[in-house]
Amino acid sequence: MAGDEKKGTISYRLYCSMKCFQKPSSAPEQKHGNHTETDRQKKPGGWRAMPFILGNETFERLATFGLLANFMVYLMKVFHLEQVSAANILNIWSGATNFAPLVGAFISDAYVGRFKTIAFASCAALLGMVTVTLTAWVPHLHPKKCEPGGNHQSPGNCESPTSMQLGVLLLGLGFLSIGTGGIRPCSIPFGVDQFDPTTEEGIKGINSFYNWYYTTFTVVLLITLTAVVYVQDSVSWVLGFGIPTVLMLCSIILFFIGTRIYVHVKPEGSVFSGIAQVFAAAYKKRRLKLPDNCDGEQQVDGIFYDPPIKDRFHHINKAPSYQSV
């Protein structure tokens, strides 16, 4: 009987290890000659991949910040919204855009990987930019100009946007939020993946990558708060939105051109998945009675605890329990 229980414990531990701890992407692969498969995959990348990665992130920011910097003026002048309504739309969109990277990071780490996440998110951002640009370009996608004597500050003589026009606008903003949620959390890790952190050259490359990353961030802010805003206000909203859209398209083309250069790291799972599994298991076993004396025993009253129960985090001690059959 003791032997069967021991076998059950070992089998359960192996099962948990396979489910909770996936094989790291950096683990050694089968050798080909004198080099491992991982070494062969890491030979490309490096600084040859940086123009594509930095360009993609730079143009995504240029598109998003170019909208954010002057978008309230666009809503009030072109869509004839009151300041409160325009501010509500802008705040909701900003909140969704800042929350989306959390979801994008989870999906990237747990399921699809960074390259596919950036590729999908870049296409979504482009769709968002095209949609928003169309709202300024196509007459049927925005209200008519105010009648003489009316302006955006007194919209009594101005036509309000229809549900369809607002829907198209919000659809474009939604695509932009999806794009931001996939690009921002993956761009830095994907860039770091192109260097080998175990070598001195790789460490220097990572440090330089961070410098260039934040330099481009500053340049984007300067451009969006000066040139892009000036074009939107003084020249044309269509041109002011169209320029970032074209740049976003160029960034996607550049990103896919570098596909054969990149180092592709497989998803390794997310820590949030393991945390969720623990709480789910603890909830399912909520009716299980724990022993009064938690002294680190492995087996109590025929119930196994792997790892052994402790006084700390007593409320989730039921999660690692299982009963021998």
pLDDT at 99: 94
Estimate the share of the chain in helix, then strand, then coil, as percent rounded to the nearest 5.
70, 5, 25
Least confident of 15-24, 178-187, 188-197, 219-228: 15-24
Q: What is the mean pLDDT of residues 100-120?
A: 93
**pTM of the model as a whole:** 0.74
- Contact between 66 and 220 under an 8 Å Cβ cutoff? The reply is no
- Tokens (6 digits) for 179: 């794009």
9-59 pLDDT, tens digit per residue, is 434 343 343 343 344 344 433 444 444 444 434 455 788 888 888 888 888
Asked if the structure places residue 80 within a domain, the reply is yes
Distance (Å, rounded) from C-alpha 267 to C-alpha 120? 16
- The percent of residues above 90 in pLDDT, for the chain, comes to 44
- Contact between 71 and 220 under an 8 Å Cβ cutoff? The reply is no
The distance in angstroms from the start CA to the end CA of the chain is: 10
pLDDT at 123: 95
- Contact between 127 and 174 under an 8 Å Cβ cutoff? The reply is no
- Contact between 142 and 172 under an 8 Å Cβ cutoff? The reply is no
Same-domain status, 193 and 242: yes
Distance (Å, rounded) from C-alpha 63 to C-alpha 55? 12
Same-domain status, 199 and 99: yes
Same-domain status, 197 and 277: no
Please tell me which residue, 291 or 284, carries the higher pLDDT value: 284
- Contact between 189 and 262 under an 8 Å Cβ cutoff? The reply is no
122-166 pLDDT, tens digit per residue, is 999 999 999 999 999 999 999 998 876 555 555 557 889 999 999
The DSSP bridge partners found for residue 31 are 36
* pLDDT at position 276 over 50: yes
Same-domain status, 51 and 183: yes
Asked if the structure places residue 10 within a domain, the reply is no
Same-domain status, 284 and 225: no
Q: Find the domain containing 302 and state its range.
A: 271-325
Please tell me which residue, 65 or 212, carries the higher pLDDT value: 212
Asked if the structure places residue 13 within a domain, the reply is no
Last residue of a domain, one of 260, 285, 305: 260
Q: CA nearest 53: which of 263, 260, 254?
A: 254
Same-domain status, 177 and 62: yes
Q: Kindly give the interhelix angle for 163-193 and 50-77, rounded to the nearest 10 degrees.
A: 160
pLDDT at 321: 58
The DSSP bridge partners found for residue 151 are 154
Number of domains in the chain: 2
Asked if the structure places residue 322 within a domain, the reply is yes
